[in-house]
Structure 1
Amino acid sequence: MASLDNTGWSVPGLLVALLLGVLPVNGLEVSTGKVSSIEAMNGSTVLLPCTYSSCIGIKNLYFNWQFNDNGTMVKFCDGVIPSEGVEPRVKVEHERVEFVGSSKTNNISILLWNITFEDDGEYICFAKNPKEKGRNHSAIFTLKVVNQMKEDDNTLTVIIVSVLGGVIGLVIIVMVIKALVVHFLLKDDEKNKECLVNASGNDNTENGLTGAKADNKGTPKL
């Protein structure tokens, strides 16, 4: 009898699956998104995001949100999603928590209203999928509560923009000066050519008039 591993696959079957590339991968996963932390002002309302995914689907997916209160885990809410596309049955256990997720978008996010400095810390989104032999996964989202939001220091950006603006302005000024110099040089060159043409024409005319006068003079009478 072929032995089975803890996933239910026989050893020969596992080897064949690996060779054929058909072994199931990317089981249940939960994620709080690309940004796993947020800074928010005291008294505001924040979204604690979480989504789930499974390559083989879900059945009676269990999930919950917990807050790490100095090592003590405090449950905010939990629920069960019977199957794909079916909205969950959610139980909220905190007065300032609102469930805003939907199984249609694989979303199990919550809102935390009117946050205080006591809400500062880590929030854990957990899910367990019985369809994958109870596979579970969790993700951490960190909330930092502050009195006021930090202003972005744009000093470096302003310096870079100013330098680039100055360089571009200098280049434009140089190009304008160059264009004016070329324009005046061409204009002077045209004037010089015109003067040379006029001078040459005057010389020819004067020479022609002198010869004509000499030819028209008659022989003086005695």
Structure 2
Amino acid sequence: METQKGRKFLPDRRATCLVLIVIFICGIEALEMSTGKIPFLEAVNGSDVLLPCTYASCIGIHNLYFKWEFNDNGTMQKVIDSVIPTDNVEPSSIDIYRERVEFVGSSKSNNVSIIIWNVTFEDAGEYTCFGKNPKEKGKNHSAIFTLYVVDELRVVDNTLTIIIVSCVGGGIALLMIFMLLKNFTLFVLAKLEEKNKECLVSSSGIDNTENGLSGSKSTPKPTPKKA
């Protein structure tokens, strides 16, 4: 009986260990906030700017609290905050604490992005996208996005790129011309060699005829007269 009980207990123990491992792995980074692969942007004064932020969780969310904050010389100023009840459910209310800011995210795409309309130089700086999922027992997660505001966008000097592309293109063109000349030269040499062979065969036939070899006709010599 003990053996049977032990056999029944072993799979349950393995299943429990597997569940604990999965929970542990997910718990390391259960919630992740991301501002994209390029977490900065250079915008022209007076333009409209999108500050991107998405979240992901392998254990799901429940009353996910998120907010955007602006770092004003070391003082964090709240820009916007709200609570997402659960997956694919939009927040019931969104509080905005800064002018010219609009929430454009959607929980259906795990998006909590915002737009700043008509940015000014005062809007430049670091913005933090913060998230807290109660399922994780109080763990906080955040991502930083940096906004630069300029009078005009810098013109990128493509001179070096154009020179490199021109050199590469010219090299390819020269290589193609060289290959064409090579093939044409080989073709001409092959024709000349073929013509020389024909000339040798023709001259060989003429020599055989003159020397009276097989296949040639020779003029018979007259029979000497008897005295």
TM-score (norm 1): 0.80
Partner SS, residue 213 of structure 1: coil
Name the counterpart of 2:21: 21
State the percentage of identical aligned residues.
Answer: 60
More off after superposition, 83-92 vs 196-205? 196-205
Partner SS, residue 28 of structure 2: coil
Q: 1:115 deviation in Å?
A: 0.7
CA distance in 2 between counterparts of 1:36 and 1:104 reads 22
Instruction: Quickly say closer, same or farther: Cα 1:202–1:74, change in 2 above 3 A.
Output: same
Contact 1:77 1:92 (8 Å CA) reproduced: yes
- Structure 2 counterparts to residues 167-182 of structure 1, below 5 A: 167-182=171-186
Q: 1:214 deviation in Å?
A: 2.7
Give the partner amino acid of 1:106. N
Instruction: Quickly say closer, same or farther: Cα 1:64–1:211, change in 2 above 3 A.
Output: closer
- Structure 2 counterparts to residues 51-200 of structure 1, below 5 A: 51-88=54-91, 89-200=93-204
Structure 2 residue runs of 5 or longer lacking an equivalent are 1-15
More off after superposition, 201-210 vs 32-41? 201-210
TM-score (norm 2): 0.79
CA deviation profile, 1:123-175 (whole Å, cap 9, x unmatched): 11112222322222221110011122223333333233223223222222222
Instruction: Quickly say closer, same or farther: Cα 1:190–1:147, change in 2 above 3 A.
Output: same
More off after superposition, 138-147 vs 181-190? 181-190
CA distance in 1 between counterparts of 2:19 and 2:58 reads 20
- Structure 2 counterparts to residues 196-211 of structure 1, below 5 A: 196-208=200-212
CA distance in 1 between counterparts of 2:198 and 2:175 reads 35
Number of residue-to-residue matches in the alignment: 206
Give the partner amino acid of 1:214. P
Structure 1 residue runs of 5 or longer lacking an equivalent are 1-15
Give the partner amino acid of 1:58. I
Alignment root-mean-square deviation, CA = 2.7
CA distance in 2 between counterparts of 1:192 and 1:73 reads 92
Q: 1:218 deviation in Å?
A: 5.6
